[in-house]
Structure formats: C-alpha cells, structure tokens
A and B are shown apart, each in its own frame.
Chain A
Amino acid sequence: MKYLNTAKTILLSATVLFASSCSNDDNGPVNEEEVITTVTTTLTGGGQVITLTSRDLDGDGPNAPTITVSGNLTANTTYAGEVSFLNETVNPAEDITVEVEEEGVDHQVFYQLPTALGTVAYTDLDLNGKPIGLAFTLTTGNAGTGNLTVTLRHLPNKSATGVAAGDITNAGGATDALVTYPVTVN
C-alpha cells in the first residue's frame, strides 16, 4: 500500500498545483489593433474640397458601413487626392495611414471609376520607386454618375503588368479595405 499512498500524494499535489491557474477576463474587451473603421478620401481642386467617407464602427460586425459624400465634382477638372485610414474603435483614433506609408512596399491603394467620369494617376512612390497610392490626382471627364471604388491591398505583386499604373487586375494580395462611394460629376 506504500505505493498507493505515494500515488495519492502526487495526484493531490498535481491537482492543487494546476487548478489554481485562473484568469480574470472581466476587465474589458480586446483592444482591436489593425481594424480599419474609416476610409476618407479628400479631393481638392477647382476651388472645392470634397470629402468622401465610409465609416463602419462595428468592424466585422453585422452593420454595413455608412457612406457620406460632401458634394459633387466638376467636369474636366483636376483634383489633388488624398486617402486616410483610421481605426475609430479606440480613443483617440489610430491613424493607420502612417503604417501603410511606412510599409509602403507592402501596400498599394487602387482607384476604380468609369473612365468616362475620370481618370486617376499616382503621385507618390515607395522605397522601390513604385506607387503606394496614398496621394493621387483625379481628372474628371464629362458629366455623369457612377461609383468610385478605393481598395487597399496588402502584399500586392507590385511588379505585375499594369499594377504600377493602377490596374488592380494582376495585383493579387489580400484586401485590407474596400469602399465604394457614389459620385456625381456636373
């Protein structure tokens, strides 16, 4: 019976030792770090500043993003464009644009809109001399309506055909953000 007692002792001490590892999880939810909640595109030109915003405060939650466009574009005008990515689930809001810029070689922003409405050209470069797309120009065409889609890709193939010129077709990579704004050109 000596061994039975030894076994009991070991068993008991092991149970006591490991059963005490509890944790308290009531201190608040996880701080979400990489979430993009807000994509703001600013177009400056022709004496106007037009702000297009897509905001989705519940991230992957069920609510759809809220989209606001501050005004209409003017036909045949060149606008200087900028895009910013924010995480507004934290206070103060975290500016993810800075990280996109820092990791510029691993990111690219793409702009898609019907060619009749306008064309986009990049005006910034990463360390390898390829565009990032945080700064661009948008030259409007004739009057009409359509959608402007802004896509942030992570780890795109920046050397693939057409990618440096803004064609997303061969870019690959994973989509970090994809927002669509309705636009009207007068």
Chain B
Amino acid sequence: MQKFSLFFCLLCFGIVYSQNTISGKIVDENDVALEKSHIHISSKSTNSKKDGSFIIRNIPNGPAKVLITYVGYKPIDTIIAVNGNLEINFKMKQKNEQLDEIVVKHKNNYFNHSVSEQKIKEKTIEKFSSQSLGNLLKEVPGVSVLKSGNTVVKPVINGLHSSRVAIFNNNVKLEDQQWGMEHAPNFDVNAAGKITVLKGASALQYGGDAIGGIVIIEPFSTKKDTLFGKTIMTMESNGRGGTISSSLHKGNFCDWSWNAQGSFKYYGDREAPDYTLSNTGNREANFSGDLKYIGKKFDFAAYYSLYSATIGILSASHIGNVNDLYNSINNQTPSVTDDFTYSIKNPKQKVQHHLAKLNYNYYFKDGQTLALQYAFQFNNRKEFDLRTGVSDSKPALDLNLLTHTVNADYKLSLDAWDFKSGIMGLYQNNTANPNTGVRPLIPTYNKFDAGVYAVADNHLSEDFSIEVGIRYDFSTIEATKYYLKSRWEERDYSPQFDNFIAGDFGTQWLTKPTFTFHNFSASIGTQYSFGEGFDWYFNLSRAVRNPNPSEFFSDGLHHSSGMIELGDLRLRQEKSNKISTSLQKKWEKVKINLNPFLNYIEDYMFLKPVGFETTIRGAFPVWEYQKTNALLTGVDFNSEWQISEHWQHRLLLTYVNGRDKTNNDAIIDMPPLTLNNRILFSKKEWNNLTLELQSEMVFRQTQFPDNNFTTNIIENGDFVPVEVDISTPPPAYHLLHFTSDFQFKVSEHSLATLGFSVFNILDTPYRDYLNRQRFYADELGRNFQIQLKINY
C-alpha cells in the first residue's frame, strides 16, 4: 500500500478538472516498451502502441478502475483517483515476480492545447527558494528579466513585461501595481508548488489582455492522508544573509485537508566584484495557507497569502538632475560606496500584498464542472525617498490598491469535445495617500471590469486537436487627479478633455478622467502529433490591452531615472496579433523544442524622449508615453541530451527582435540574445548526487533606438554641451555558475538534501541592458550558497 499512497500523493497536485485524458507508457522492468498490452480504464479500453504508449480520453472525475494485462506478465489491477489529465507510466513485472509497480511521471493539466506550455517543477522552485519570482522564471526559454537593481526583478516574456504579463497565484490574477517597471511581482516563490508559463494570451479563461504571456502558479497540495512538511534553509555569502522557508501539509483523499507555509528573508548590502552596492539589502516575511473540504460531489477551499517586503534601493541611483545622471554614466563607478551594512536607509520600498480567496467546485455526473471563486486583494506600496526637511519615515509615495474579483467557470466534456466558459467581474479602487507631501504619480481611481469567454476544444483524432476561443471584456475607469494648469496646457488637453474638469484649485485643476472600453479577443490553434515523436503546435491569437494608470496619468519626476514621465489621456488600447508555433521532437536520447513567434502590436505604448524641461533643480529630459505599431519576432529553443547514463546536456536559447514599424526604428529594452548551456552529472548510487556547470552567455544588444541627448555642464564657470549616452547597451558578458546537491537520511521518516552552489564563479564585473540601474553600478559579484532541505 505504501506505493499506492505515494501514488495518490503525486497524483493530486493542483487544480481539479473534469475532462480527463489519461496517457502514458507501458514498459517492462527493463524499461522496454510493451506493444499491444491491453489497458482498461473505467468503461474505456485501448491497446498500447509500438512504443508502449497509450491514450484514453473522457474519463470522468472520481475513482476509476484500471486493469492492464499482457501475456506472461502479472496484471496491474488497481483503482486510481481521477480529477485531472494524467500521464502515468506503468511498469509491468513478469509473472514470477512479487510486486506490481506503478511509476507516476507527471500530470498534465493543459491550459491551452495549441501552445507548448513550459513548466517549472517543484525541485527547481526549491532551488530558487532565496530568489525572486523573476529569476526563477528565467529557467524557461523565452523569459528574460527586467531589473531595477538586484532584488526588484520582473519577468519579460517574448520581449514584453509589466501590464503585459499576467501572473496568476492560485487562480487569482495578481493585482499588485504591476504597471510600474520598478514594481516586482508581489509573490514569494516558496508558496509555489508548480509554475506554468504560457507565452501569449491564448488561454482566454485567464483574460484577454496578457499580450506578453501568462504565468500560472499553483500552490502545493496533496491528498495523501498524512501530515508532512519540509524546511529549506539557504545561506548566501553575497548579501551575507539567508532565507528560511517551512511548510506543513495535511492531506486527505476526502474530508478536510490543509496547507501552511511561511518564509523569511534577511539580507544586507550586496557586493559587486569591485565595490559594495550600498543600500541594497532586503527583508521579506511571507505566509500562505489554505483549508479545503472535499466532499463526494464538490470541494470548497479558503486560501490566504501575505507577501511583505522591504527593499533597499541602491544609494548611488538616487540622482537629482540630468547633470548627476551624466556624471554617473561617465564615472562608471557608483557615487556612493559605503562599507557593508545590514541596515536599509532611504531610498527604499515597502510593499505588502494580501490575497484571500474562497472557491467552490461542484462536479456533475456527466463530466460537467462548475467553479465559483471570490478573491480579495489588498496591495500597499510605500516608496521612501531622500528628502530635505521631511522625516525619513514619511513615504514619498503611498498607494493602496484594493481589488475584488468574482469568477464563475463551467466545464463540460463530451466525447471528443471539451468546452469551457465563464464570467468574471472585478472592482478595483486605488487610493493615493495625500499626506506624502508629494504629488502622486498614480492618481486615486475606481475601476470596474467584466468579462465573458468560451473555449471549445475538439480531438478530431488521437493525434490531432483544434481549440477555438473567444472573449469579451468591458472596462471602465474613473480617476480623480489634480493637474497643474501649466501641465494641462502643455499636454494640449483643452478643449478635448475640458469635460473632465471638476474643480478649480488655483494653480491646479481637479479632474475626473473617465474612460470605457469594449474589447474582443480570440484564439485559434491546433496540435498535431506525427511521425516518430513529433509534436507540432500552432496558435493564432488576438489580444487587447487597455492603457494602464501609468500610461494614462503619469505626470512627474522619476528620481531613480532622472527623467520626467508623462502619460497621455489620448492613448487607446493596444492590440496584439500573435502567431506562435512550436515543434517538438523526441528521439531516444535527445529532446528538442523550437518555438518561433511573430507578434504584431497595433498602438503599442512605449516611453519616448521628447525634449527637456527646466526646473529649479536643473534640466530634465522628458519621456512621454506614445503609441506606435510594433513588430516583435523571435525564437526560443531548448534541448535535452542524455549523453550517457550519468551525463546530461541542456541548452536554452532566447532571441527576440523588436521593430518600431511606424518610425522604422528599434524598440527600446528588448532582451539581447541569450544562450544558456548546462552540463549535468548525476549518480543515484552516490546519494543522488548531482553536479551542474552552467554557462550563461548574454550577447550585446545591437538593436536599440538612439535616445541620447545633449545637456550643458559647467566647466570653469562656463557652460559646455555634452552628450548623455543613455542608449548604448553594455557589452556582452559570460558567466559561469556551479550547483550541486546530494541526499541523505536524517531519520526513518526524514530525508535531507544538502546543496552547495557558486554563482558568477569568476567574479566577472558586468552590466545588463535590462537593468534600470546599469547607469550607476555593476551587477552582483561571486556568491557562495549553501542550501539544506529537510523533508519530514
């Protein structure tokens, strides 16, 4: 029974589905495929193919009887719990042997059948226990990161980020002020059990505006009827700190079950190879937990998670005006390098994200499921700056974002058809605290969204399926914003937007900008399996994204970038038309996945330099949100090669090219070509030892717009014009990383894994094009890491 309980435990991660496909492979104990073995599940049956593989569709939820027979082998006769698509490999033993063995490889919960989904497994997530979500997602080809320093890390999918990437935690879209380039996702990786990355907006049940992609995070859960847990401790030399994460899981096949998980992070100043990166420490305290009741026909769950972080912002990145920026760029060393300290001074960010949700699933007899969900989110972001005459404890920005979401989703499986449909409603309120003494960059607003979708999926044959989806979204936003009258005039908003004016406050207008949008999005795609181990995916999708508050309303100075950022009320929705295809091929020892794409975005919104404004602090370049037609093309590639029993090679390649078609120029901030080569050695007999050497090659971005400008500096009391080079990308760099771990038994029921890693082994100084602080300082130097994981 031991093996079967383990089996149930592995089986039951994740969301519950009703249309279930069970596939897998039948092999003998020497892993040789058994052709024409007979597989019987519930009322359906099939025979395995030449390579031992089989597939059975439309198995309803609930317990299913499995009977597998093959002449000369002991039959496998068991019951499995089905509530999702499964891939199960059955290992049959010859009749003279004693035991049957079932090996569960992994479960496939497809979010869209026509795109190749990229998954990150629990083992990888654990290795990134001390890191940010952005860095973890870099494990997926096609994902890069946009950083502000080293702790604020945002994922970039196929060249797109921020509002264009939707992050779903436990089926709830994170509303954490994701519009800002220096706002990292408010999520702790330790709360994730499995992560799936979908490039593009093809999975319409998750919204129609994720032009870049969708990140789906599912928490860990189990139905094994025991109590168990794990603790991961990570110590790091760079930052001289660590992370501790603990979780406890009480599983149950039915009735009550619960999970609880908490983590802490504490780091001081990070170090570049040649100097301390002053004020780059961070702290985090996070919690997540759920309580679930599983009945015969339904389940009900309550979930809560808290993310709470304090993040120091590099002292040297706080600049006053364009002359300071010029000095930083030209000096190539940070203007402030103090001794190492754990304390975090201003500038810093303090963010908190609460997520609470209730959900209820009901399973009808004939393959229908109804899911209801309510989610509450509260996000508070405080940014502290260096200010004269104002207490350090008073934030310069204090935004409170409150979001309520209601979802109702229905699913139906009928023979070769899968159908899903649902509605969504969202109410959001943002409050900009007026007691900061600084005009808020993002105004107070109320927003209401409603959406409805339908997706149908037809398996024309075992090897061929088509999926079609359509979605409609309604959105209305009403903001309350004070505009300087001089800005209102400079923006040329009169008379077009004079109807928004609601009050006259001397030098400022009180305005109530209100906008309503009706958006249609659609996706059509197909999956085809052919030949020997070939899989081909093709997807065509159209997605529409509304301007976010920052694109509409930005109006003021960004201290970290030394620029004035201006939104534009005239902006309209951006429309993405994406073709994505991927070809997968499995040989005996090699697996490859090639994924080219083309994304044509109408009215793509981006920041463009438009001139200068002189203020009492000196001159500042002005960047304005504008729209253009953009064409993004690229390719992601990854391969796995089992060189021999113990040696493996992996390759990840990410390439994207962004063109501004209207102005015939390059698009700014496109990730450069990246090549990631890994050689892995593993040996089970030696305590599951694994050793991995990783080579990370990042090429120089050669496609970039020239946004350089000229400013005056004073030499010997006279003005001298100089060029401020904000455009030229930093040179290519190459880094080597080493990771290793092995397992050992602590006690009868407790297994431990000890890992040792070195990042940036050669202590190479480098700067990254997609780091907003590349003007001020180098990236991190060498980092030694020790990680201990204990399962109990």
Task: Answer whether A30 and B336 are a contact pair too, CB < 8 Å, given A3-B293, A21-B429, A56-B616.
Answer: no
- In the bound complex, what is the Cα–Cα distance between A78 and B362 (angstroms)? 89
A183 to chain B, nearest CB (A): 10
Task: Answer whether A155 and B386 are a contact pair too, CB < 8 Å, given A3-B360, A58-B507, A59-B615.
Answer: yes
| Cβ–Cβ contact A175 & B717, under 8 A | no
* In the complex, A112 has a CB within 8 A of chain B: yes
Selected contact of B298 from candidates A3, A26, A174, CB within 8 Å: A3
Chain A residues within 8 Å of B490, by CB: 61-62
Chain B interface mostly: strand
- In the bound complex, what is the Cα–Cα distance between A62 and B486 (angstroms)? 6
| Cβ–Cβ contact B374 & A114, under 8 A | no
| Cβ–Cβ contact A65 & B615, under 8 A | yes
B408 to chain A, nearest CB (A): 11
Considering residues A29, A37, A149, which has the most beta carbons from chain B within 10 angstroms of its beta carbon? Answer: A29
| Cβ–Cβ contact A14 & B374, under 8 A | yes
Chain A residues within 8 Å of B101, by CB: none
Considering residues B389, B437, B613, which has the most beta carbons from chain A within 10 angstroms of its beta carbon? Answer: B389
| Cβ–Cβ contact A26 & B503, under 8 A | yes
- In the bound complex, what is the Cα–Cα distance between A39 and B618 (angstroms)? 12
- In the bound complex, what is the Cα–Cα distance between A38 and B503 (angstroms)? 27
Which residues in chain B, 311-328, are within 8 Å of chain A measured between CB atoms? 318-321, 323-324, 327
| Cβ–Cβ contact B717 & A25, under 8 A | no
| Cβ–Cβ contact A107 & B388, under 8 A | yes
- In the bound complex, what is the Cα–Cα distance between A31 and B434 (angstroms)? 8
Selected contact of B323 from candidates A6, A100, A175, CB within 8 Å: A175
| Cβ–Cβ contact B402 & A176, under 8 A | no
Chain B residues within 8 Å of A14, by CB: 356, 358, 374, 376
Chain B residues within 8 Å of A15, by CB: 374, 404, 406
Which residues in chain A, 47-91, are within 8 Å of chain B measured between CB atoms? 54, 56-65, 89
* In the complex, A158 has a CB within 8 A of chain B: no
B28 to chain A, nearest CB (A): 46
Contact with B along A2-14 (1 / 0, CB 8 A): 0110110011001
Chain B residues within 8 Å of A162, by CB: none
Chain B residues within 8 Å of A146, by CB: 717-718
Contact with A along B685-717 (1 / 0, CB 8 A): 000000000000000000000000000001011
Which residues in chain A, 153-186, are within 8 Å of chain B measured between CB atoms? 153-155, 157, 172-179
Selected contact of B372 from candidates A7, A23, A39, CB within 8 Å: A7
* In the complex, B308 has a CB within 8 A of chain A: no
- In the bound complex, what is the Cα–Cα distance between A63 and B216 (angstroms)? 46
| Cβ–Cβ contact B487 & A11, under 8 A | no
* In the complex, B510 has a CB within 8 A of chain A: yes
Chain A residues within 8 Å of B437, by CB: 30-34
* In the complex, B335 has a CB within 8 A of chain A: yes
Chain B residues within 8 Å of A4, by CB: 298, 360, 362
B253 to chain A, nearest CB (A): 18
Interface-located stretch among B438-446, B598-606, B641-649, B744-752: B438-446
Chain A residues within 8 Å of B489, by CB: 62
- In the bound complex, what is the Cα–Cα distance between A36 and B321 (angstroms)? 14
Selected contact of B564 from candidates A38, A60, A63, CB within 8 Å: A60
Chain B residues within 8 Å of A60, by CB: 439, 556-557, 564, 613, 615, 620
| Cβ–Cβ contact B320 & A154, under 8 A | yes
Task: Answer whether A115 and B717 are a contact pair too, CB < 8 Å, given A176-B617, A178-B323.
Answer: yes
* In the complex, A121 has a CB within 8 A of chain B: no
| Cβ–Cβ contact B617 & A175, under 8 A | yes
- In the bound complex, what is the Cα–Cα distance between A21 and B387 (angstroms)? 31
Chain A residues within 8 Å of B502, by CB: 26
| Cβ–Cβ contact B429 & A62, under 8 A | no
**Nearest neighbor of A7 in chain B, beta-carbon distance:** B360
Chain A residues within 8 Å of B360, by CB: 3-4, 7
- In the bound complex, what is the Cα–Cα distance between A10 and B502 (angstroms)? 38
| Cβ–Cβ contact B616 & A37, under 8 A | yes
| Cβ–Cβ contact A174 & B320, under 8 A | yes
Chain B residues within 8 Å of A57, by CB: 507
| Cβ–Cβ contact A30 & B618, under 8 A | no
| Cβ–Cβ contact B388 & A25, under 8 A | no
| Cβ–Cβ contact B319 & A99, under 8 A | no
* In the complex, B256 has a CB within 8 A of chain A: no
| Cβ–Cβ contact B556 & A114, under 8 A | no
| Cβ–Cβ contact B390 & A34, under 8 A | yes
Considering residues B356, B556, B714, which has the most beta carbons from chain A within 10 angstroms of its beta carbon? Answer: B714
* In the complex, A28 has a CB within 8 A of chain B: yes
* In the complex, B508 has a CB within 8 A of chain A: yes
Contact with A along B472-505 (1 / 0, CB 8 A): 0000000010101011011000000000001101
| Cβ–Cβ contact A99 & B388, under 8 A | yes
A17 to chain B, nearest CB (A): 9
Task: Answer whether A172 and B390 are a contact pair too, CB < 8 Å, given A29-B439, A154-B320.
Answer: no
Which residues in chain A, 139-158, are within 8 Å of chain B measured between CB atoms? 146-147, 149, 153-155, 157
| Cβ–Cβ contact A114 & B487, under 8 A | no
A180 to chain B, nearest CB (A): 8
7 shortest A-B CB distances, which residue pairs?
A: A175-B320, A33-B437, A99-B389, A178-B618, A114-B717, A172-B335, A174-B320
A-B contact pairs, 25 of them (CB 8 A): A3-B300, A4-B362, A11-B406, A14-B376, A18-B404, A23-B431, A23-B444, A25-B432, A25-B480, A30-B482, A34-B390, A57-B507, A59-B615, A62-B490, A100-B389, A112-B714, A112-B717, A115-B716, A117-B717, A146-B717, A149-B717, A153-B320, A154-B386, A155-B336, A178-B617
Other A-B contacts than A3-B295, A22-B446, A177-B617, 9 sampled, CB-CB below 8 A, are A26-B502, A33-B390, A37-B616, A57-B507, A64-B614, A96-B388, A146-B718, A178-B321, A178-B618
